[in-house]
Structure 1
Amino acid sequence: MKKNLLNSPHTQGTAMDSLLAEMVLEKALLNFRKEKIHQKIDQALKDNNKQEFLLLTEELKSIS
């Protein structure tokens, strides 16, 4: 029977893979969120909605 030790290379690789997957997912979610905000900013400009535009640009600045 194979035993996995806490500091074995296999465990470190699995932890590193999980961290990398989490980082990729967070980056993808951030990019998706930014794209949605950009779309809403474009719509606010088309609608000539200054208040919405200002709110959205502040939100975009806060996550960038």
Structure 2
Amino acid sequence: MGKMNVSSDVMLNLFAEMILDEALLKFKQDHLYEAIDHALAEGDEVTFLTLTSELKSLQVLG
């Protein structure tokens, strides 16, 4: 029965890690969208291109 508890704990830890990773990805994407909007509003093309590139990289990973 001890092995069953260890397996359950491992699965729960993995599931919790997946949820945290997803939440962190969403937070980063939301922050980038806000920063991109700000760069557009300011007419800052260099920052816009940098941030959109970073967002694309995150989306490939996610």
TM-score (norm 1): 0.88
State, as a whole percentage, how many aligned pairs show the same letter.
37
Q: Which runs of 5+ in 2 are unaligned?
A: none
How many residue pairs match? The answer is 59
Amino acid of the structure 2 residue aligned with 1:11: V
Partner of residue 53, structure 2: 58
Partner of residue 14, structure 1: 9
Q: Which runs of 5+ in 1 are unaligned?
A: none
Amino acid of the structure 1 residue aligned with 2:8: G
Q: Which has the larger radius of gyration?
A: 1
Q: Distance in 1 between matches of 2:50 and 2:44?
A: 10
TM-score (norm 2): 0.91
Larger helix proportion of the pair? 2
